[in-house]
Amino acid sequence: MSLSCTPTERKKPVRNLILAGVVACSSAMVASSESNAQDVVLVEDDKSRLPEATQPSEEQIKKWIEELASENYAARESASRRISRHLTAALPLVLESAESAKDSNAEQLLQFLGFVASEAFTEPGMKAYASLERIANDRTTHRAVVAQRILESISVQMRDLAIDRLSRVGITVETRYLSVLTRTIEVRNALVIDSRFSGKEEDLVLLKWVFDVQFVKLDGPHINHAILNQVSRMSRLNSLQIIDTTLQASDLECLLNAPDLKLLEILYTPIDDSSIAILEQLPVFGDMQLFGTKISAQGAKDLVARIDSANVFVGRGGFLGIQCEPSSLIIREVVPNGPADRSGIRNLDKLLRIDGVSISNFDELRRELAKSADGEKVVVEFERPVMTFRRPNGRGNGPDGPRLDAYSPMKVEVTLGRRPSELNR
């Protein structure tokens, strides 16, 4: 399903919004009192008016551009219509003029660019929007302020339109509970592209308009380079999960130009040691988690040694399915129907050893589990509290309550699974 839209469908709401926003930001956009019938007659009788099929000369286009700054309202409107009629030929000169114009005569030209940029799904619209961005980046000028207000008006409208259209091809933006690092957390405005995506490559261009998304999850074997490339261009991206894909090392190169990331997780994706040269250059300044990849043990050591800007963890992908206190390893939650649950491990059990190796904190537990892959077996030793219910101090006037009598040592064999990317609750 493609998201191409008709001119009528794109046109009215965005253009009305842009017009309102531009008028609000500059008094020069208020129609002047000269817009009377005589003005209109003079413009319409202008002998320089071209037939529809005739291509205008550069001199004619420059004259129209100059007329956009005319004090005569009708002259401005006529020039705007003529430029619009010959937009393909005129746009390069319009962009050049807008980016070199002085503050004193730039506002009407920027207003015209706003109308063109409001058709942001078209090639002229994208060029006009990019020009406004360049102008807005020069923050020392008044025209930069005007350009920024126009951009904000366009962006708000395009964001809502983009989310609506993306949802039609299975890309969602919503609050979700996701497994991040070793915890399940609530993520607001999480953008998820998974097996429900039914769109085409051109639909992915809409992602640039979803400017308030910081967390993106890419899940499934259909995730390709084109999807990752467009996601890497999202302006506020700071957390990225790549799960169960077929992406290779070369596909990660587009992330070199991504915004600074505080989290990059790559799970169950067949990148190998050839990806290390790319991974060490990525703009990750928080946590880099590689889980269930094909990176070798030596490759993992090399990667950790080369990166000092992020906390790097590389594991083979085996998942036990528990959450516990970091210092005491007392289990606080067992993932329902996960590996630990199926092996009889319960809440309040205290972990002691993995495959005979003693563990005393969460980092040591994760280090030992990292040695095993999905489907491999490990022996888990733990203590289970033995509780009895007694009346306090043996008296009969207090409420009944549990009391710890002892710990019972236990040992089970667990077949590790895959870490779930999402828990529904």
Domains annotated for the chain, with CATH where assigned, are 7-162 (1.25.40), 169-315 (3.80.10.10), 322-415 (2.30.42.10)
What is the distance between the alpha carbons of residues 340 and 83, in angstroms, rounded to a whole number? 69
Number of Cβ within a 10 Å radius of residue 356: 9
Residue 20's pLDDT is what? 44
Residue 217's pLDDT is what? 94
Q: What is the DSSP string of 354-423?
A: ETTEE--SHHHHHHHHTTS-TT-EEEEEEEEEEEEEE-GGG-TTS--EEEEEEEEEEEEEEE-BPPPSB-
What is the distance between the alpha carbons of residues 386 and 329, in angstroms, rounded to a whole number? 17
Give the pair of three-digit tokens for residue 177.
């509970």
Rg (CA), the chain: 31
Q: How far is CA 411 from the centre of its chain?
A: 44
**Is residue 178 within 8 Å of residue 239, measured between CB atoms?**
no
- Residue whose token pair is 């420059």: 62
Give the pair of three-digit tokens for residue 126.
């994208």
Give the pair of three-digit tokens for residue 88.
């393909």
Question: What is the sign, positive or negative, of the torsion defined by CA atoms of 399, 402, 406, 408?
Answer: positive
Exposed, middle or buried: residue 286 (CB in 10 Å: 0-12, 13-18, 19+)? middle
Q: What is the pLDDT of residues 221-264, one digit of tens each?
A: 999 999 999 999 999 999 999 999 999 999 999 999 999 999 99
Put the strands of the sheet holding 261-267 in their side by side order.
172-180, 183-193, 215-219, 239-243, 261-267, 284-291, 311-315
Strand ranges for 142-214 from DSSP E? 172-180, 183-193
**Is residue 348 within 8 Å of residue 385, measured between CB atoms?**
yes
Q: Which candidate, 191, 187, 188, places its Cα nearest to that of 163? A: 191
Residue 368's pLDDT is what? 94
Q: Is 307 left (phi over 0), alpha (psi -120 to 50) or beta?
A: beta
Quick one: the chain helix, strand, coil %, rounded to 5? 45, 25, 35
Residue 196's pLDDT is what? 94
Residue 25's pLDDT is what? 38
Give the pair of three-digit tokens for residue 243.
């799960």
Residue 387's pLDDT is what? 79
Give the pair of three-digit tokens for residue 191.
């953008």
- Between the alpha carbon of residue 181 and those of residues 214, 313, 316, 391, the distances in Å are 16, 10, 14, 43
Residue 319's pLDDT is what? 93
Give the pair of three-digit tokens for residue 286.
């928080």
pLDDT tens string, the chain, 425 residues long: the values are 444 444 344 444 444 444 444 433 333 333 333 333 333 333 344 444 555 557 889 999 999 988 888 888 899 899 999 999 999 999 999 999 888 877 556 788 898 999 898 887 788 988 999 999 999 988 778 888 999 999 988 888 888 889 999 999 999 998 887 777 667 778 888 999 999 999 998 899 899 889 889 999 999 999 999 999 999 999 999 999 999 999 999 999 999 999 999 999 999 999 999 999 999 999 999 999 999 999 999 999 999 999 999 999 999 999 999 988 878 899 999 999 999 999 999 999 999 999 999 999 988 999 999 999 999 999 999 999 987 766 666 555 555 667 777 889 999 999 999 987 665 33
Number of Cβ within a 10 Å radius of residue 324: 22
What is the distance between the alpha carbons of residues 87 and 80, in angstroms, rounded to a whole number? 10
- The three-class DSSP label of residue 260 is coil
